A and B are shown apart, each in its own frame.
Chain A
Amino acid sequence: MLIKLARLSLWNRRVTASLTLVSLIISVALVVGIDHLRVQAKQSFSQTLSGTDLIVGARSGQLNLLLYSVFRMGNATNNMTWQSYQELSRHSAVAWTIPLSLGDSHRGYRVLGTTEAYFEHYRYGQQRSLTFAQGHFFTGVYETVLGAEVARKLDYQLGDELVLAHGSGAVNLHHHDDKPFRVVGILQATGTPVDRTVHISLAGMEAIHLDWQQGVPLPGRVSAEAALQQDLTPKSITAVLVGLKSRAATFTVQRQVNQYPQEPLLAILPGIALAELWQMLSLVENVLYVISLMVLLAVLIGMTTSLLASMNERQREMAILRAVGAGAGYLFLLLELEVLLLIITAVVGGVALLAGGLWIAQPWLAAHLGLFIDINPLQSQSIYLLGGIVVVAAVMGLIPAVAAYRRALSEGLAQRL
């Protein structure tokens, strides 16, 4: 009977109640959505690079090395020599290495010189490897493989030719226009910086810089054909991604690299560095989260206000219930139950709204932004969040419930209309 009364009473006030409900649903979807995105973003961020045990580069800072090697942000202060790289890849504990050579760009996108090992060993997310949407891995010196976003934004097809620019800005003074590169492969979207990268071979990287010195072209230029005749083994690279045979060796190898006598090198653990970087970025995320909680709180206060305002028009109802023998406690429960009905409906509706929205948005997000967001917004910790919302609502509901209780005791059966 109590539930029936609460339900029908709400239905009787369905216009105000449904407005309250809609605002509750939206704010629940907002809070849960932001929480979901936060978890997903963190997950996808920390999995920008997976499977790699160490990142090695010239000695600088941990974040600096991480930023330029994984996120293609900023610049290396120094390179490591090819000899050091060779020695590292021959180390008994090392299973594979991916050399990375940075420095050039193409219309704002970074150019990465690497080897076949990149397409074989690079992992992101849950140990996902890179796959080709079209074409294949580069085999020639003047061939390039584009990340998904580069191909889409700049509208490149297989077979198109592109000219790389020296340096990493969007506007470059010097172009390697004598040695254009042909697109032979386009990668699937990954949601990682790989999507924004133009990949070429280390030999290609070497070839375009043969006739350069100190960042400017020398007068007597080497033609593209002539370059092929020369030794295109690089003299230095920017960084190396290292996979070990056994994870247990990680710290040993890291120490050996850091103490390498021939040149100052730095080896970092990508997982730890990523977590450290996330810490710096999480401020924004926390601010968003706090804002969404504030919105929820405001909506809950709105709900309380509308329930309190309805108390006057419901005075008759309360007096009738008192007359037939309902105690003040019963009226308290009735109000509290109405709040619970509202908030539980709102929680279910909010989660459904969010899941529906994600279901619609997911293909688009995956295709255009390379964001893979789980449709199901409920994780194990969401239970605490949703439970918290219900508890806060119930506490807010105490205000009208206590008002009903006190009124029941002080006003008797009088129907003052």
Chain B
Amino acid sequence: MMINNETAFSLRDLQFRWAAEKPPVLQIPELDIARGERVFLYGPSGSGKTTLLNLLAGVIKPRQGQLQVLGQAFEQLSQRQRDKFRARHIGVIFQQFNLISYLNVLDNVLLSAHFAKTPAAQARQRAQQLLDALGLASLALDRPARLLSVGQQQRVAVARALVTQPEILIADEPTSALDSDSRTAFMDVLLSTAAQINCTIVFVSHDRSLQNFFSRSLDIRTLNRAAREESLC
């Protein structure tokens, strides 16, 4: 896959609806996110944030319009191709429950390396480095994930998302389960580790206080025509 485009995401006349007879939940005429940009996306729940993230991650496919990710036209790729692309180039962090509870810390991190087909030795080395950088050096690698605190879990999730050195990191309110002190610390390590690999970040939250960490803030309600139409009527 050719990845030399300067934009990480390029959206044109994008429209998504869950079924043909249902109204669109997302309608974005234009949006460009440059490589290396850190974008903060906010908006109330139900405004289409999660749908947009699913589209950007290639889990769902736009009904209409164009969606280029790192120069790849997603609307032309099959589900399988998009899954592969995500494994290689996109890291995802959820709000909570990021780890598979029955796998240990190391296996959770290596899970994404497995799908990205990163060589095992390299993946292990990177995993160790990332866990150290995230302040988890003291954590036993064979510790089952379910025994970790929420803060630790979210950091391991960062390691898992970044171990494949993806060009893009998509985070869906990863701080919402953290208290305010650990929130700042978490944001610091997240952004600094991401910066080391020059990762484009799309970060979703309704907590506006976090927007200072980002180079650009977007209100989903101004982006999404569908949400606006809905709120008008």
Name A residues whose Cβ lies closer than 8 Å to a Cβ of B.
1, 4-5, 8-9, 11-12, 316-317, 319-329, 409, 412-415, 417
Contacts and interface: CB of A to CB of B under 8 A. Distances in A.
B213 interface: no
Contacts of A1: 111, 114
A412 B116 contact: no
Contact of B59 (A12, A322, A329, A415): A322
Give the interface centre of B80, B84, B95, B102 by most chain A CB atoms within 10 Å: B102
Contacts, number: 76
B53 A413 contact: yes
B171 to A, nearest CB: 11
B106 to A, nearest CB: 12
A401 to B, nearest CB: 17
Given A316-B97, A324-B160, A325-B115, A11 B102 contact: yes
B222 interface: no
6 contacts: A316-B97, A323-B92, A324-B87, A413-B50, A413-B54, A413-B172
Nearest to B146: A12
Contacts of B80: 327, 329
Interface in B64-119: 79-80, 83-84, 86-88, 92, 94-103, 107, 111-112, 114-116
Contact of B88 (A325, A328, A417): A325
A325 B86 contact: yes
Contact of A415 (B51, B94, B101, B160): B94
B84 to A, nearest CB: 7
Contacts of A323: 57, 86, 92, 94
Size bin of chain B's contact surface: 20 to 34
A337 to B, nearest CB: 15
A139 B97 CA distance: 89
B148 to A, nearest CB: 15
A351 B195 CA distance: 58
Contacts of B191: none
Given A325-B83, A327-B80, A413-B94, A320 B100 contact: yes
A62 to B, nearest CB: 66
A320 B59 contact: no
B223 interface: no
Contact of A413 (B57, B99, B116): B57
Nearest to A327: B83
B60 interface: yes
Given A324-B111, A415-B95, A12 B83 contact: no
A327 B58 CA distance: 11
A243 to B, nearest CB: 69
Contact of B87 (A8, A316, A325): A325
Given A8-B102, A320-B100, 8 more contacts: A317-B101, A320-B98, A320-B99, A325-B116, A326-B87, A328-B83, A413-B59, A415-B97
Contact of B79 (A11, A12, A328): A328
B60 A412 contact: yes
A122 B22 CA distance: 85
A9 B115 contact: no
Contact of B102 (A9, A409, A412): A9
A9 B101 CA distance: 9
A415 B157 CA distance: 15
Contacts of B100: 5, 317, 320-321
A322 B116 CA distance: 12
Contacts of A11: 102
B92 A324 contact: yes
Nearest to B115: A325
B160 A414 contact: no
A415 B54 CA distance: 12
A317 B115 CA distance: 15
Contacts of B112: 324-325
